[in-house]
Structure 1
């Protein structure tokens, strides 16, 4: 399927469902499961992200837990490169590299297998939503600590009112950023 940016945006938005007051009152959750269930929309999304991935010369795709896994794995297959999951601390067996980061109310930690990235790798990070940018920023630090290079960051949608873009653009240090939808 060949689409323009506006056609792709319209298709994707038509398949994202708003769920009010989830997971708590006052939150408008963006549910992507209808998009994933639609083969036309999911294929168009995968093709767009794979195109960005290939344009950046990525050799690996990193997906952020948990919905980033769903998007990044088919992108890696389509681009013909490897997929590496970034997991919450304690979820991976074997030797890991970890990166702690601050949340609005507390802290969290993410990990990758120590052997999954090499210095020769150019890594594209993929996630479903960019909100405040904390997890994405931590993943960029983790990739660099592994010795690999950051090829860029791509997300399905960016929640502009949370200002995560400024945080990740600074952390990207010149590597490209792409949001298919900005809300």
Structure 2
């Protein structure tokens, strides 16, 4: 499977704005809106993902709310496959199943429609999970568990950025294969 050149990785990283102290002091927020607003950078990224995943016979792409929707829907369209949103409670209009996960102070939850993977007749549809970044891994691991609970198989979790210093990728690797386009140390 393809990998980006170092020059392409630097180009993509430089297209992502960093905001100091957002949403709270000490955080360096990675703002992908500048990558999305750069047609050349976004096309480079999407071309790379299409090349990586076009031969994997993916039945669905699931995107985590909300930035995973952007990359997931675009990739699903380019791969001519289906897109499934994974959302917070109360955001999906039909019957859902959910998966809870621990936060530093409390619990959160992600949901999916109960029939999210019923559009094709196969016993275990293959699903690619995608989001903009992996931090601590809690949300993504819950999303993988939710995909599997819904009767599909998460074959890989893809992230545009991996915040390696938080080691969330190590957590999610216990549940599925992980691919990160960019690594931030």
| Number of aligned positions between the proteins | 179
Distance 1:66 1:138 in 2: 15
Q: What do the CA deviations read for 1:39-83 (whole angstroms, capped 9, x no partner)?
A: 111111112222333243211000001111111110000111000
Over 3 Å off, 4+ runs = none
User: More helix per residue: 1 or 2?
Assistant: 1
Q: Deviations over 1:138-158 (max 9, x none)?
A: 001001101111121110000
Counterpart residue number, 2:134: 130
Cα distance in 1 for partners of 2:19, 2:34 equals 12
Q: Distance in 2 between matches of 1:56 and 1:135?
A: 24
The aligned residue for residue 38 of structure 2 is 38
- The answer to whether structure 1 residue 154 and structure 2 residue 158 are counterparts is yes
Aligned counterpart, 1:179 = 180
145 and 3 in structure 1: CA distance in 2 versus 1, 3 angstrom threshold: closer
Contact 2:126 2:155 in 1 (8 A): yes
Alignment TM-score, normalising by the size of structure 2: 0.92
**Runs of 5+ unmatched residues, structure 2:** none
Root mean square deviation, CA, Å: 1.5
Is contact 1:17–1:32 with CA below 8 Å preserved after alignment? yes
1:33 positional shift: 0.6
> Residues 77-156 of structure 1 correspond to what in structure 2 (within 5 A)?
77-118=77-118, 119-156=123-160
User: 2:73 — aligned with what?
Assistant: 73
1:4 positional shift: 4.1
Equivalent residues of 1:63, 1:83 under 8 A apart: yes
> Relative to structure 1, is the Cα distance of residues 3 and 142 closer, same or farther in structure 2, using a 3 angstrom cutoff?
closer
Q: CA offset at residue 137 of structure 1?
A: 0.2
Q: Give SS of 1:35's match.
A: helix
For the residues of structure 2 that align with 1:4 and 1:147, how far apart are their CA atoms? Answer: 33
Structure 1 unaligned blocks of 5 or more: none
